[in-house]
Amino acid sequence: MLLSVNVFVSLDGVMQGPGAPDEDRSGGFDRGGWLVPHASAHTNEVVESWFRAADAFLFGRTSFDLLGGYWPKVTEPGNLIATKLNTLPKYVAGSTLSDEEADWSPTTVLRGELVDEVRRLKELPGTELQVHGSWKLVQTLHQAGLVDVYRLLQFPVVVGTGKRLFPDGSMPATFAAVEEGSRVLPGGVVSLTLEPASHGAISAGEYAVDEGRSVTVLD
């Protein structure tokens, strides 16, 4: 299965606590709920398109607890997101999570070495294994080069502090935008679908003057 990371981010790359003030107060974060005033039918349409592609989900412990406390309560038959989350296989990277606590069925707790476990999951039949939220897990997957697609909704907000999608020390990488999933929505929210570039790490270049012309020179 293809592995996708699907997240909400601010202009300054923060992905912490977008949905509610008390969603994630770790590290003293007190700016939660920054996404909600900018949510719309247009952003909902994009998020539903993400979930249509899902065959299974991979979560970190915190996101699993958060989503598992909300979506099982959503029982309306026409809710695509609830239907997908409540019925498809879920895998949790949480060695401290007991099988009894992982009661959002069907759920499997990954207890082995995480990178190896995820590589195994990617070999299973299906189209897409999706990660939503799960900040710490995303860092591990990025560093291991396991993410095939990043889907972002970037909101016109500077949060100023909090967990960033790519914090200092992240593995350098270059991405190519997928035209089909990249556009500016009404209200200024940007939908981006990004795939790792074939050459991997970032390249460099410079501007130079050649016979009176400004030109670019690539390494």
Q: Which domain holds residue 85?
A: 2-218
pLDDT-based confidence at 183, cuts 50/70/90?
A: very high
Q: Quick: pLDDT tens for 85-124.
A: 999 999 999 878 888 888 999 999 999 999 999 999 999 9
Other CB atoms within 10 Å distance of the CB of residue 156:
11
pTM of the predicted structure, to 2 decimals: 0.93
Instruction: Give the CATH number for residue 108.
Output: 3.40.430.10
Average pLDDT, the chain: 95
Asked if residues 205 and 216 have their Cβ atoms less than 8 Å apart, the reply is: yes
CA-based end-to-end distance of the chain: 35
Tell me which amino acid residue 163 is: K
Q: For position 200, what pLDDT does the model report? A: 64
Q: For position 199, what pLDDT does the model report? A: 67
Q: For position 114, what pLDDT does the model report? A: 96
* Among 5-14, 24-33, 77-86, 195-204, the least confident range: 195-204
Number of domains in the chain: 1
Instruction: State how far the Cα of 55 lies from the Cα of 86, in Å rounded to an integer.
Output: 12
Q: For position 131, what pLDDT does the model report? A: 98
